[in-house]
């Protein structure tokens, strides 16, 4: 099984769009991650077309390319983790407002350590290999903070996550921050290290959240088309809840995977957020949801580590008006 948290080497840029004439168009860039499959499945099921919406969806793993496209107005939506949304060079004036959530990591990201590392505290002074700005870095940072340490107390070594197995085979490396499938592979393929998953997103389910971000100018000009987009996504999540096998069958071709592989990724790594859960995350105008506190906690970690250079205001970055009353008088 050859897939990555954000890269599927066998799959290039993929564009999915409805073919019927439509009043509105949403242009989307998102990493090649199964967490974003509801947007693709919603298109397959005709949920966007029913609302007179065309969705042009392309995979793009390079965050810099996505930010540039958003700045130019080439796209209307991008989807990434909260932590990535906050990262430099984003400032208060960078376009992009959070209007929804789509999934959360519940085991797909983590840190695998040598068997001699009994706890996170044992990493002090040790070499930890990790790619910059992946979710595992935030998980490690939070875990260290809980035991009175910081990333400055470990020797960080930058790697490409795809090299996890080779890197972890080096006995000078105490731990590797990674994501699935490399997280599980490191535990099984390098048994001589007596490896164990030291930190996992299962332990911090609200830390690694994938969000839906809209371009500000287009959001102000045509908020209804973004409501149509969210309706399609949350209807697709409902479809997954009712028929996960069919959902996997529809999602698989978009990722160059088998339905069984898609099911395996979902079952072990992520949880799609339903409309009700997304609504609780975002809250309502004047009543912030749980995402606001999560945003602030992650922001503090990003600033502390230097991944972000400016502290962003959750109230300005999150707009709950689009999701509020999303299905009132609408098909669900």
Strands (E), the chain: 15-16, 24-30, 53-59, 77-81, 97-105, 109-113, 127-130, 155-157, 175-179, 196-200, 209-214, 270-272, 283-284, 287-288
Q: Are strands 24-30 and 77-81 parallel, antiparallel or unpaired?
A: parallel
pLDDT value, residue 23: 72
pLDDT of residue 179: 85
Q: Please report, to the nearest 10 degrees, the dihedral formed by the alpha carbons of residues 64, 250, 246, 279 taken in order.
A: 30
The confidence score (pLDDT) of residue 49 equals 96
Largest CA distance in the chain: 61
Per-residue pLDDT at 20: 41
Q: Which domains does the chain have, with CATH numbers?
A: 15-105+207-317 (3.40.190.10), 109-200 (3.40.190.10)
Task: Give pLDDT tens digits along the chain (332 positions).
Answer: 333 443 343 344 444 544 444 479 999 999 888 999 999 999 999 999 999 999 999 998 788 899 999 999 999 999 999 998 998 899 999 999 999 999 999 998 999 999 999 999 999 999 999 988 788 998 999 899 999 999 999 999 999 888 999 999 999 999 999 988 788 889 999 999 999 999 999 988 778 999 999 999 999 999 999 999 999 999 999 999 999 999 999 999 999 989 999 999 899 899 999 999 999 999 999 999 999 999 999 999 889 878 889 999 999 999 999 999 999 999 99
Q: What is the pTM of this model?
A: 0.84
Query: What confidence score (pLDDT) does residue 22 get?
Result: 44
User: 226 in helix, strand or coil?
Assistant: helix
């Amino acid at each position: 099984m050859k897939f990555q948290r954000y890269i599927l080497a066998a799959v290039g840029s993929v564009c999915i769009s409805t073919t019927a004439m439509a009043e509105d168009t949403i242009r989307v860039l998102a990493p090649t991650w199964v967490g974003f499959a509801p947007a693709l499945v919603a298109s397959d099921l005709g949920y966007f077309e029913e609302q007179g919406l065309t969705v042009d969806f392309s995979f793009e793993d390079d965050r810099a390319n996505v930010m540039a496209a958003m700045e130019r107005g080439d796209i209307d939506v991008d989807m990434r983790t909260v932590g990535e949304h906050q990262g430099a060079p984003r400032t208060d004036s960078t376009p992009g407002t959070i209007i929804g959530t789509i999934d959360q990591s519940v085991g797909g990201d983590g840190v695998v350590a040598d068997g001699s590392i009994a706890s996170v505290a044992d990493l002090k002074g040790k070499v930890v290999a990790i790619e910059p700005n992946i979710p595992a870095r935030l998980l490690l940072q939070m875990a260290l903070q809980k035991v009175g340490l910081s990333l400055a107390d470990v020797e960080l070594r930058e790697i490409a996550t795809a090299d996890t197995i080779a890197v972890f085979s080096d006995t000078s490396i105490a731990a590797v921050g990674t994501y699935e499938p490399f997280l599980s592979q490191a535990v099984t393929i390098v048994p001589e290290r007596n490896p164990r998953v030291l930190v996992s997103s299962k332990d911090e389910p609200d830390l690694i959240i994938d969000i839906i971000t809209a371009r500000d100018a287009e959001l102000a000009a045509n908020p209804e088309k973004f409501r149509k987009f969210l309706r399609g996504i949350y209807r697709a999540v409902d479809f997954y809840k009712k028929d996960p096998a069919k959902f996997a069958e529809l999602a698989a071709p978009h990722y160059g995977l088998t339905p069984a592989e898609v099911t395996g990724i979902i079952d072990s790594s992520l949880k799609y957020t339903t409309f009700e859960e997304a609504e609780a995350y975002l809250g309502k105008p004047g009543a912030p949801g749980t995402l606001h506190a999560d945003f602030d906690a992650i922001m503090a970690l990003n600033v502390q580590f230097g991944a972000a250079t400016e502290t962003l205001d959750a109230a300005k970055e999150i707009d709950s008006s689009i999701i509020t009353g999303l299905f009132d008088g609408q098909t669900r």
